[in-house]
Amino acid sequence: MSNPIQFISTRGKTGPVSFTEAMKQGLAPDGGLYMPDNIPVLPDEFWKQLQSRSIQDLSIDIVRPYLEAEINGGGFGSDLPNRIIQSAITFDAPLVQLKKNLYLLELFHGPTLAFKDFGARFMARAFSKLDNTAGTEQDLLVLVATSGDTGSAVAHGFYGVEGTRVCLLYPSGKVSELQEKQMTTLGGNVHALEVDGTFDQCQSLVKKAFSDRELRQKLRLSSANSINIARLLPQSFYYVYGLGQLQERLGPDVKPIYTVPSGNFGNLVAGLIAMKMGMPVTGFIAATNRNDVVPKFLSTGRFTPKKSVQTISNAMDVGNPSNFERIEFLFDKSHHEIQKTISGASFSDEQTREAIGKVYRDTGYTVDPHTAVGILAAESYLSEKSVDEMAPVVVLSTAHPSKFRHVVEEETGRPVDIPERLKACMNKKKIALQVESGYDPFRQYLQGNLDS
């Protein structure tokens, strides 16, 4: 028997902790990001029998080793992974073929129509199941500053989860109408604060609350930030599930290339973790918009963070991706090893718009701007290879086109179909409390809110 997996910081200056502890802390005390101290390789039979297994079924096997300490030491029972997965992963991730050698893995069938639903829902369910103080203690208060997609995924993930409350802070007038609707129409344990300020000011309010000792003695605060290991780990599930679907079409020996539209690089790191679990893959393509620090690093070996620039694929507008640290950690900081596994490509808004139009005209399929960046990278790879050296490419389709329908409709010239779950929230009334960007009113709100 090997030792149960523990979680260590990428900076190596804090002791190992359990999954539950890593999830509760979010960021490690030394400022690093949590990673498993080892990633066990799943047996050959697992990889040979992916076909026709459901995503839930596969996810339970994948996540089990990481919860071993909770199951055995913590007394949560061997059905813990089962219970978390069955309540978190309640939607599919189908693979669709766009053309020869090019596939899309649709990750937008969750409640907020983007792949972040996988991580946010898993984390919310894991929290409620692993936090055995729920009911006996004060509710856990999850604080999130958001510029759009993260907030809606976290709000929906924690919505109705017993023992938790969510407080979202978003910059007034700076999120899309749809994103705002998704965040402000839930009610229940989800509270939205519309801050008269910028995203950075929202983030700084959250940071101040976390470093406010007096407040933290009164309230149980937590963050559901995208760097949380509990949001990252479940993103490995769909890589494996995607491979299973590809095996069904192309046979058991297929080794795809995954193309990942990237911003903060959590999604790509989850793919690397799946590879370390033994997933057969030819490699990864990191596809970015003009915020191209990682593609630049891949070609030059130098990582130079920049201020982010605004684009039409705005969930990828990140100038200093946090998860780069995890990529370096996984490859022992060897640029050469990283380069052997990941290649990079970046594209302008103009190219992205053109791609949305072209995909629609050629295939009748509508893609969102983030997915379009991935398709551009995939096409560029395929155009450089001869048929016999070509591996099939799977592009992660990170959002439903209706989330970015204005841009999409301009390029396709026809209205985007809006899924029922989005229509439903469009007709609901927005409930958000308008607040100033100063810390004192926010602090008072937090205290009053939980006392009542």
Ligand X SMILES: *Cc1c(COP(=O)(O)O)cnc(C)c1O
Mark whether 116 is an active-site residue: yes
Please, what is the minimum distance in Å from the beta carbon of residue 313 to ligand X?
7
Q: Which residue has the tokens 């929230």?
A: 425
Core vs surface per residue 201-210: b (16+ CB within 10 A) or e: bbbbbbeebb
Comparing CB distances to ligand X, the nearer of 129 and 403 is 403
Active-site entry in 24, 116, 129, 403 = 116
Please, what is the minimum distance in Å from the beta carbon of residue 362 to ligand X?
22
One-letter amino acid identity for 331?
A: F
Q: Helices in 113-222 by DSSP H: which ranges?
A: 116-130, 149-158, 177-184, 199-210, 213-218
SS3 breakdown of the chain: % helix, strand, coil, rounded to 5?
45, 15, 35
Comparing CB distances to ligand X, the nearer of 39 and 399 is 399
What residues make contact with ligand X under the rule CB under 6 A? 114, 116, 149, 261-267, 315-316, 370, 398-399
Q: Which two tokens stand for residue 378?
A: 């995939």
State how far the Cα of 113 lies from the Cα of 149, in Å rounded to an integer.
9
Comparing CB distances to ligand X, the nearer of 130 and 202 is 202
> Is 431 in a helix, a strand, or coil?
coil
Please, what is the minimum distance in Å from the beta carbon of residue 263 to ligand X?
4
How big is the chain by its Cα radius of gyration, in Å? Answer: 21
* Residue closest to 125 by CA, chosen among 218, 46, 34, 56: 56
Per-residue CA distances from 6 to 20, 128, 155, 318 (Å) = 10, 20, 28, 29
Please, what is the minimum distance in Å from the beta carbon of residue 398 to ligand X?
3
Q: Which residue has the tokens 């959002």?
A: 399
Comparing CB distances to ligand X, the nearer of 69 and 274 is 274
Please, what is the minimum distance in Å from the beta carbon of residue 316 to ligand X?
5
Comparing CB distances to ligand X, the nearer of 184 and 235 is 235
- Beta strand 95-99 with 102-106: parallel, antiparallel or unpaired? antiparallel
**Do residues 23 and 127 touch, judged by C-beta distance below 8 A?**
yes
Comparing CB distances to ligand X, the nearer of 209 and 425 is 425
**Do residues 221 and 143 touch, judged by C-beta distance below 8 A?**
yes
Please, what is the minimum distance in Å from the beta carbon of residue 191 to ligand X?
22
* Residue closest to 396 by CA, chosen among 312, 295, 274: 274
Instruction: Mention every residue, 6+ apart, whose C-beta is less than 8 A from residue 15.
Output: none
Strand pairing partners for 145?
169
Q: Which residue has the tokens 């395929």?
A: 382
* Residue closest to 399 by CA, chosen among 116, 6, 58, 176: 116
Please, what is the minimum distance in Å from the beta carbon of residue 115 to ligand X?
6
- Which residues carry out catalysis? 116
